[in-house]
Structure 1
Amino acid sequence: MSNPESTSQSPAPVKTFRVDALSVRVYDSQATMAQDLAQLAQDYLQNLLAQQGSATVILATGNSQIEFLDALIVKGGVDWTKITLFHLDEYLGIDREHPASFRRYMRDRVENRVNPAAFHYIEGDTMEPLKECDRYTRLLQAQPIDLCCLGVGENAHLAFNEPSVASFDETRLIKLVKLDEKTREQQVNEGHFPNLSAVPQYAFTLTIPMIFSARKIFCLAPEERKAAPVRDMLKGEISTAIPASVLRRHEQAILFLDVDSASLL
């Protein structure tokens, strides 16, 4: 399989370096970052499909993902009918049609545009949350994960693995967690909810070991508001107090930054 980092067709980062096992790429703008990542993802998925005939990908929601997902879909060249998709998290008690539902985000921005082999959704409005965890676990266990795309929260969380609940040794693949107030405030600030009281207090999240099991990880963390968590994840100790720091142990993880999010490095 060719190395997707070696492509010459995409915009070049202004800086590349490594922190422990983690590759880091810094771009002059978020738009350039999205275009290069879309090229790398396209190359990787094309190679996977050529080699094994199918692929399984976990996608993330959030503002950091929008430009990348759109660029990847617009590029074309990927046979999505051979790709099974999952997503990282969903609020507990939220309807699939709610404007802030991650299922709605994925359906509108991805599924309806590419028609994948399957898109397995976390049913956030289930009446039996623990049974939903069991159901999603079985789906995740049915095949290896080829790629996980994700972002970094303002408190350095991955998916909804907050510092207060993150575990590097978790045996579950998905769990129910209580959200930190800082994370709930971030959802308001990003325009997903009108005020803090409207943000659910609990959510489903894939666990860190589940994320870490992916063969390759693409992590996006643009914008100035991510500068502090990026600094902490790259310069601090690898610990659950900084959940994103665990990516420094993954040999096939790449962190994508713009000059704003890299400003404190």
Structure 2
Amino acid sequence: MMVPKENFCVDELVVNVYNSEAEIAEDAAEIVSKYLHSLLLEQDTVRVLLATGNSQLKFLDALIAFGGVDWSRVTCFHLDEYLGIDGNHSGSFRYYLREKVEKRVYPHVFNYIEGDTLQPLGECDRYSQLLRSQSIDLCLLGIGENGHLAFNDPSVADFSDSYGVKLVKLDEVNRQQQVNTGYFSSIESVPQYAFTVTIPMICQSKKIICLASGKRKAEIIKTMLQGEISTACPASILRTQSQAMLFLDIESASL
């Protein structure tokens, strides 16, 4: 197992710092693989809630390469999806997860948020019921440059949300991030609205693994770990979650 360069707690949150994104991916993959394997020794299936985005790419590669998980007994969900976008659009999270996960490991089932549904409020209810039908054993997260978890931007995040999944309007920082990371050609092409799993639903997960690397995440990581726990930085809620682990590299932890 990779030994972190630094290991400490901020309130209830365990924080590991590594020399590089590659080291994050290697250690997080081993931790997750062993955790899922141990659960499958005790229960028939496990339920995993997956993030998307560039922060997950090396980790997903490392997790699949590490092995040790019987994916035929894993039920998958995802955290968010754009409203009105086709599942074959290259910016769709369904497209990302089909290509990066489903087609590579063939889980028992992958329950997708249908972003192009004709009844979006009904889709929120449907997906909420799926998530609430049994416990989520593992939630994988990234952190947005505005501190969002999933699509819970500061303007719409609610630590006491009564919804499991809701429709939100994305803020400009979030939409520009989608352009900067290469998923859309311009901010005008990024949908303005999206589905998101809410903060309380995320926090009900039995284990949370959150990855954040690179210098562009340094400012928000400083705010997350040293500022107030508030919806101004939604990711700060992880400081109240003893089941959560945050994986940083020396660049994202530099401030």
Asked whether the 8 Å contact 2:34–2:68 carries over to 1, the reply is no
Distance 2:73 2:2 in 1: 28
Match in the other structure for 1:114: 105
Aligned amino acid, residue 251 of structure 1: S
Distance 1:110 1:142 in 2: 23
Aligned amino acid, residue 132 of structure 1: E
- Aligned with 1:95 (options 86, 91, 116): 86
Aligned amino acid, residue 139 of structure 2: C
- Aligned with 1:32 (options 15, 23, 28): 23
Unpaired segments of 5 or more residues in structure 2?
Answer: none
Aligned amino acid, residue 97 of structure 1: N
TM-score relative to the length of structure 2: 0.99
Aligned positions, number: 255
Q: Is residue 60 of structure 1 aligned with residue 28 of structure 2?
A: no
Aligned amino acid, residue 71 of structure 1: A
Note the C-alpha offset of 1:53.
2.3
Note the C-alpha offset of 1:141.
1.4
Distance 1:55 1:250 in 2: 20
What root-mean-square deviation, in Å, do the aligned CA atoms of Structure 1 and Structure 2 show?
A: 0.5
Match in the other structure for 1:256: 247
Unpaired segments of 5 or more residues in structure 1?
Answer: 1-9
Distance 1:254 1:53 in 2: 25
Q: Deviations over 1:29-75 (max 9, x none)?
A: 00011000000000100000001121101000000000001110111
- Aligned with 2:194 (options 181, 203, 213): 203
Match in the other structure for 2:124: 133
How many percent of aligned residue pairs carry the same amino acid? Answer: 60
TM-score relative to the length of structure 1: 0.95
Distance 2:83 2:45 in 1: 31
Q: Deviations over 1:165-213 (max 9, x none)?
A: 0000001100000000000000000000000100000000000000000
Match in the other structure for 1:215: 206
Distance 1:147 1:200 in 2: 28
